[in-house]
Each structure stands twice: as structure tokens, then as C-alpha cells.
């Protein structure tokens, strides 16, 4: 089957967000955050399948369908993506999108898909508004980074399947734990195309983000 397989890592505990349930299962504008994400992808004709790694304890409660499959996640985001990738056998392109970003638009996804078709790997990036300092372990400032050289990575990130497989296999072999796949791909020498990201596509991290997301979805 051609089309894009989407992996949505959703096996985190949401420690910064807090709450009884991990943030991605909490109700946002009427339905669980994760459902905003899976439905938006499922309604897109480009997407053949959505694979959702979740925590072991929640797996039994999730109901897989033809196009949305829940699988066991791992200890880290990268390990969860690796578990998801093992299920993505027949894809030409594979996307990875955080369950914690329910505000992504299909237009953004398509822009990243187009760039990945051309370049092999692509992601949305937004300029960094804050001045970023490298910090010392004692909490003092070590060095101010040049903001014009910085970009904040978003998801969805999209890859030719064999590139993503190679990148994650190498990271695993070399014991490197990446927080996104685009960064790993660049580290291993692949050209990774940045497309203009969307400031609204925020990653829900702390409780304050929830209200912002609800106002955007309203």
C-alpha cells in the first residue's frame, strides 16, 4: 500500500503536565487530545494508517481499528517510535507526530510531506523568539547562543521509510537517544528540509498550554 503511515508516540506520562491521566488522554475541547490527532490524520486521503504507541498499562483499554492501531510504547519517546516503526511495514513515507500537538493543520502536514518526497526528510521549524543561553549545571549562564542560527522543531516530521529505519537503527546501535527524528537524521548525514512551522502548533507541556489550545480549537 502506498500512502503515508503516521506514528503518533503517545506513551509518555506527562510529568510536567501532571493530572490523573497522561495529558494526551485528557479531554480537550470535547474529546481526548489523542483523538483530535488520530481523527485529523484519518480523515486525510494521504494517510494509509495511524500507529499509536501507548503505555503498556493502557494498551488493553484501547480499541484498534483497520486504520488506527495501538501498540505498546517504550521507555522513551524514541523507543516508542521504534516500536511503532516495527508495525509500519508497507509505507513509502512515514510521519512521526507527537500526541501532545493536537493543533497541527493538514496544510502543514502536506507541506512537510511534499518536502520529504523531494528531500527524503523534512520537518516544520519556527524561529526562536526568546534569547537562548547554554547553561552551567550550577544554574548560571554559560553562553548566549546566536538566535539567528536557531530553530524550534515541531512535528509532524516526515521521512522516506528507509531513511527513518536507518536513522533509528543507527541511533539504537550507537546508544544515542534523540528527542526528534529530524535531528538524528541530520546528525547521521541526511539532508533534512525545514518548512515554515506554525506558531499555533504548540506542544501541550504544562497546564497553562491547555487553555491556549482550547481557545484555538473553539
- Those residues whose C-beta lies under 8 Å from the C-beta of residue 201, and which sit 6 or more positions away, are 101, 103, 104, 105, 108, 124, 154
Answer for the pair 142, 133: CB distance below 8 angstroms, yes or no: yes
Answer for the pair 69, 87: CB distance below 8 angstroms, yes or no: yes
Q: Report the residue number, 19 or 142, with the smaller CB distance to ligand CTP.
A: 19
Question: φ, ψ for residue 196 (rounded to 5)?
Answer: -65, 120
Query: d(Cα 115, Cα 113) in Å, to the nearest integer?
Result: 5
> Contact between 13 and ligand CTP (CB under 6 A)?
yes
> Contact between 208 and ligand CTP (CB under 6 A)?
no
Q: How far is the CB of 57 from ligand CTP (least distance, A)?
A: 13
Which region among 56-64, 96-104, 169-177, 186-194 touches ligand CTP (by CB under 6 A)? Answer: 96-104
Burial environment of residue 199 by CB neighbours within 10 A (0 to 12, 13 to 18, 19 or more): exposed
Q: How far is the CB of 202 from ligand CTP (least distance, A)?
A: 11
Q: Mapping DSSP to helix (H, G, I), strand (E, B) and coil, where does residue 4 land?
A: strand
> Contact between 99 and ligand CTP (CB under 6 A)?
yes
The angle, 0 to 180 degrees and rounded to 10, between the axes of the packed helices 77-85 and 161-174 is 130
Site for ligand CTP (CB under 6 A): which residue of 4, 10, 93, 115? 10
> Contact between 202 and ligand CTP (CB under 6 A)?
no
> Contact between 143 and ligand CTP (CB under 6 A)?
no
Query: d(Cα 82, Cα 73) in Å, to the nearest integer?
Result: 8
Which region among 98-106, 113-121, 134-142, 181-189 touches ligand CTP (by CB under 6 A)? Answer: 98-106
> Contact between 35 and ligand CTP (CB under 6 A)?
no
Q: Which of residues 43-82 bind ligand CTP (CB under 6 A)?
A: 53, 73-77, 80
Binding residues for ligand CTP, rule: CB under 6 A, are: 9-17, 22, 24, 53, 73-77, 80, 98-100, 203, 205
Amino acid at each position: 500500500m502506498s500512502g503515508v503511515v503516521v506514528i503518533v508516540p503517545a506513551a509518555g506520562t506527562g510529568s510536567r503536565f501532571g493530572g490523573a491521566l497522561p495529558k494526551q488522554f485528557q479531554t480537550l475541547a470535547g474529546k481526548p487530545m489523542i483523538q483530535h490527532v488520530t481523527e485529523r490524520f484519518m480523515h486525510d486521503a494521504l494517510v494509509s494508517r495511524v500507529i499509536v504507541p501507548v503505555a503498556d498499562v493502557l494498551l488493553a483499554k484501547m480499541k484498534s481499528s483497520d486504520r488506527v492501531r495501538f501498540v505498546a510504547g517504550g521507555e522513551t519517546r524514541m523507543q516508542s517510535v521504534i516500536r511503532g516503526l516495527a508495525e509500519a511495514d508497507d509505507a513509502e513515507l512515514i510521519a512521526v507526530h507527537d500526541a501532545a500537538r493536537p493543533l497541527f493543520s493538514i496544510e502543514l502536514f502536506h507541506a512537510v510531506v511534499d518536502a520529504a518526497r523531494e528531500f527524503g526528510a523534512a520537518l516544520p521549524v519556527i524561529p526562536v523568539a526568546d534569547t537562548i543561553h547554554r547553561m552551567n549545571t550550577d544554574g548560571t549562564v554559560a553562553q548566549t547562543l546566536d538566535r539567528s542560527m536557531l530553530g524550534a522543531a515541531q512535528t509532524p516530521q516526515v521521512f522516506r521509510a528507509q531513511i527513518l529505519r536507518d536513522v533509528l537503527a543507527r541511533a539504537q546501535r550507537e546508544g544515542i537517544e534523540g528527542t526528534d527524528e529530524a535531528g538524528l537524521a541530520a546528525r547521521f548525514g541526511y539532508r533534512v528540509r525545514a518548512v515554515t512551522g506554525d506558531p499555533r502548533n504548540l506542544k501541550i507541556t504544562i497546564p497553562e498550554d491547555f487553555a491556549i489550545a482550547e481557545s484555538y480549537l473553539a
